[in-house]
């Protein structure tokens, strides 16, 4: 059986992508959580994950001893390993567009990711108001997301970015978590997409697990006081 090594569900946006993809696609896998303690070279997390992934990062997919890391590589591997699940759109141009937006997410939106680290359990609306007021680069990132999502939803007539659920939706799921936690302002049609995505069984299962985790990690909490 496939094994997916992940970090804490409340905080690990990178881990969320392949986990949601596997869960929503109905692909059986074993979850192995490697708890964050810190990301220092001497941390227990680094020691444990480095035994599996030489890059020392989560997530990592283990397919009977064959190891794949990096979320894009994992997504591509799963799409080829399980072609019947149709994880990418079927048309050549649609697949190219889906890969393009996933790559953009993978390497872009640095301002949003830096200012608004994923924290599913916390209510960070007050911090979000200040971020929105003071960080124009965050506003630029959100405007790009809104433009991209609106174009895709209109072109493919929803409910997901390419009609049916795909790798693209899994890749943007952590962004939806950020927009919700920080209550960043988006238009009603974008808010509706976020609600539909969060209601998917695979996404909801991750959210439920994150809320149940109750593992406050101070080094991940740049805005919230310790409970």
What is the per-residue pLDDT across 109-129, written as a single tens digit (0 to 9) for each? 999 999 999 999 999 999 999
pLDDT above 90 (res 219): no
Structure tokens at 162: 């390419």
What pLDDT, in 10s, does the model give residues 5-37?
999 999 999 999 999 999 999 999 999 999 887
Q: Map out the domains of the chain with their CATH numbers.
A: 2-85 (3.40.30.10), 92-210 (1.20.1050.10)
Q: Spell out the residues 6+ positions from residue 44 whose beta carbon is closer than 8 angstroms to its own.
A: 35, 37
Range in 51-60, 97-106, 159-168 the model is least confident about: 51-60
Beta carbons of 5 and 32 less than 8 angstroms apart: yes
Beta-carbon-side half-sphere exposure of residue 108 (alpha carbons within 13 Å): 15
Residues of the chain with pLDDT > 70, as a percent, come to 99
Q: How many residues does the chain have?
A: 227
């Amino acid at each position: 059986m496939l094994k997916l090594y992940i970090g804490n569900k409340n905080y690990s946006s990178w881990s969320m992508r392949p986990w949601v993809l596997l869960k929503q696609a109905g692909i059986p896998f074993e979850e192995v959580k490697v708890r964050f303690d810190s990301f220092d070279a001497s941390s227990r997390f680094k020691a444990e994950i480095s035994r599996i992934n030489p890059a020392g990062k989560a997530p990592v997919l283990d397919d009977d001893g064959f190891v794949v890391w990096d979320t894009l590589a994992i997504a591509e591997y799963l799409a080829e390993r399980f072609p019947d699940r149709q994880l990418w759109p079927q048309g050549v141009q649609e697949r190219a567009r889906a890969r393009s937006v996933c790559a953009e997410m993978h390497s872009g939106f640095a301002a949003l990711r830096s200012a608004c680290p994923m924290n599913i359990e916390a209510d960070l609306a007050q911090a979000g108001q200040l971020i929105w007021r003071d960080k124009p680069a965050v506003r630029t990132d959100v405007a790009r997301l809104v433009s991209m999502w609106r174009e895709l939803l209109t072109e493919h007539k929803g409910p997901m970015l390419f009609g049916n659920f795909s790798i693209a939706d899994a890749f943007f799921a952590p962004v939806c978590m950020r927009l919700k936690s920080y209550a960043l302002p988006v238009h009603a049609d974008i808010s509706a997409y976020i609600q539909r995505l969060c209601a998917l069984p695979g996404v909801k299962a991750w959210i439920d697990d994150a809320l149940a985790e109750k593992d406050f990690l101070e080094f991940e909490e740049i805005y919230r006081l310790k409970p």
